[in-house]
Chains A and B, each alone.
Chain A
Amino acid sequence: MKVFHGIIEIAGQMGITCLELKKRGHIAIGYNTAHSYLNYKEDVQNTVLWEIQHTSHHIMRFFDLFHFHYGVTMYADYRDLYQIREQGKPIVMHHWGNDVRLRQLASKNNPYVYAEDSPPDERIHQTLHNLSGVIREAIVQDYEVYSYVAPYYERVHVVPIAIDLDRFAPCYPTRECPKPLIIHAPTNPDFKGTYFIENAIERLKLRYNFEYKKIAGVSHQEAARLYREADIVIDQIRCGSHGLFSVEAMALGKPVIAYIRDDVRAKFPADLPIVNANPDTIYEQIQFLLTQPEARVALGKAGRAYAERVHAKEIVTDQVVGIYTRLMQQP
C-alpha cells in the first residue's frame, strides 16, 4: 500500500505512523508544512505548500490512500479531494482538537476549557461540512475530539496517540526524594492552564520543599530528555482530556496530572492512571502527589504499563492499518 500523510505534522504523529507503516512493507511519506521550535523531523519530509502543490498531480497519481491531518489538504478549496475521489482512492481525515473544538459545545461540556485558539464556530462548521461532503470517515484521538466531528462524518474512529516506546525508557520516581521535581511544558499556556498551575505552585512552595521547572521553547528531543528528571508531570488542566505530554510522561514512568472530563474518562480504559485535576482542584492534587511518594511510584509504574498497552506505536498502527484495509475494500 502507498500511503500519503500530510500536510501538517501534529505532535510527531505522522512521522511515527509512517515509520511503522514502512516497517511493515508499505510505502509511506509524511509531508509537513508546519515548522515550529518543536522541530519534528523524524520520518516526515519538511517542505513547503508550494512544493506540494507543484507536485500534487504526481502525489495524487502515486499514492493509493490519503491520510490528511488537522482539517487541511493540499488546496484550500479542496480541489485535490475531488480529484482523489474521482480516481476512486480512499481518503481519511484525522482531526486533532484545536482544528475542530467548537467553542459553544466545548464550553457546554467543560467550564474550564480554553478554545480561543480554534477558529470561530461558524468556520469550523463550514470546514467540517465541506470536508465531510467528500470524505466519509475521520479519525480522532479521544472522545473529547469525537464529540465535535461525529455529527458530520459517516464514521469516526477513535485511535489513541501513538508513541515510540523505544525512545522513552522508564525512569520511575524514587520513594526517597527530599525535593521532588515538578515539570510542566506549556506549549500553549492559556490552553494548558499554566496560570492556574503556577498559582498553585506558588502557594505550595510556602509549605513544601520541591522544585518546579517550566519547559518551553526547546526542541521535542531536548524536552523529552528533560522530562526524565521529573518526579511529577503536569500536563493540561483545562481541555478536558490529556495530550501527548501525558502519554510521554506515562511512558517514562512518571505520575501525571491532567484534567479528564467525567464523560470522556468513562470512554478511556478504566485503568487510565492520570491524576484528575482542574483549575479548582489543582492545588490539592499536586499536594497529594507531593506528600505521597508511594503513590508517585505506583502511578509511574501503572502509567508505563498503560502506555505500553494503549499507546505503543505498533498497537496504534494495527488500528490504523485496519481502517486503511477496510477503506481500500470499500467500493
Chain B
Amino acid sequence: MAIEKSMYFIPNRFYTNGSEMFVSFNIAVIPVDMIVTDMQLHVPHRAGSTAATLLARTIASGWDESIMAGGYVPLIGDTVMQLFSPIGSVETVLPLTTFADAWRFDSLHNHGITIHSTTAAFTSEQLPFLLIKTV
C-alpha cells in the first residue's frame, strides 16, 4: 500500500513589495517514482492584516530577485485564481496541484506565480512555502 507523505519546499526565488509577491519553487528534486497528489501554497500575511482580495497569476518569463529589486517586472500570464482573505487571517492557502507536473518535469519554464493583494499584506520576513503530498 502506498504511504502518503508530506514534503515542504521554500522558495528558490522570492520578491515582494508589500502588495505584490513573486515566487517560484524548484520541485524537480521530487523523486520521479513519487506521485504528487496535492500541492498547496501557504502565503503568510502581515500581522493584523485587513481583509484583502488576492489575485494569483502565472509568471510567463524569467526573473531573479536582484533584477526585481531594480524595478524589472517579468511578463505576467494567465489568472490562476482569485481568493478573499478575511480580516485578521494569518495565511492564505492556494491549491496549486494542477501546476505540479509542469513545475516538476519542465522546470526551465517554471517561472512561478505572482500574487497581487488589494492591501500591503506581504512582508519579506515571512516566506511562503509549498506543502506537497506524495505517494
Stretch at the interface among A55-63, A183-191, A226-234, A287-295: A55-63
The reply to whether B5 and A61 form a contact with Cβ atoms under 8 Å apart is no
| A54–B127 alpha-carbon span in the complex (Å) | 16
Per-position 1/0 for B1-29, Cβ under 8 A of A = 00001111111101000000000001001
Min CB gap A1→B, angstroms: 12
| A29–B7 alpha-carbon span in the complex (Å) | 8
Stretch at the interface among A45-53, A169-177, A301-309: A45-53
Which residues of B sit under 8 angstroms from A28, Cβ to Cβ?
Answer: 8
| A243–B72 alpha-carbon span in the complex (Å) | 53
The reply to whether B14 and A58 form a contact with Cβ atoms under 8 Å apart is yes
Which residues of B sit under 8 angstroms from A55, Cβ to Cβ?
Answer: 10-12
CB of A22 within 8 A of chain B? Answer: yes
Which residues of B sit under 8 angstroms from A46, Cβ to Cβ?
Answer: 29, 31
CB of A19 within 8 A of chain B? Answer: yes
The reply to whether B12 and A62 form a contact with Cβ atoms under 8 Å apart is no
| A62–B42 alpha-carbon span in the complex (Å) | 13
Interface residue from B5, B12, B29, B129 paired with A19 (Cβ < 8 Å): B5
Given A22-B6, A43-B5, A58 contacting B29 (CB threshold 8 A): no
Which residues of A sit under 8 angstroms from B125, Cβ to Cβ?
Answer: 61
Within 8 A of B (CB), among A11-34: 19, 22, 27-29
Place the interface of chain A in its size category. 10 to 19
Interface residue from A47, A54, A59 paired with B29 (Cβ < 8 Å): A47
Min CB gap A80→B, angstroms: 15
Residue in A27, A41, A47, A58 with the greatest tally of chain B CB atoms within 10 Å: A58
Which residues of B sit under 8 angstroms from A45, Cβ to Cβ?
Answer: 7, 9, 29
Which residues of B sit under 8 angstroms from A43, Cβ to Cβ?
Answer: 5, 7
| A28–B12 alpha-carbon span in the complex (Å) | 17
Within 8 A of B (CB), among A263-292: none
The reply to whether B26 and A51 form a contact with Cβ atoms under 8 Å apart is yes
| A54–B14 alpha-carbon span in the complex (Å) | 12
Which residues of A sit under 8 angstroms from B31, Cβ to Cβ?
Answer: 41, 46
The reply to whether B129 and A62 form a contact with Cβ atoms under 8 Å apart is yes
Interface residue from A29, A51, A61 paired with B8 (Cβ < 8 Å): A29
Interface residue from B5, B7, B8, B11 paired with A58 (Cβ < 8 Å): B11
Interface residue from B11, B12, B14, B129 paired with A27 (Cβ < 8 Å): B129
Instruction: Write 22 A-B pairs (CB below 8 A) sorted by A numbering.
Output: A19-B5, A22-B6, A22-B8, A28-B8, A29-B9, A29-B10, A43-B7, A45-B7, A45-B29, A46-B29, A51-B12, A51-B26, A54-B12, A55-B11, A55-B12, A58-B10, A58-B12, A58-B14, A59-B10, A61-B125, A62-B127, A62-B129
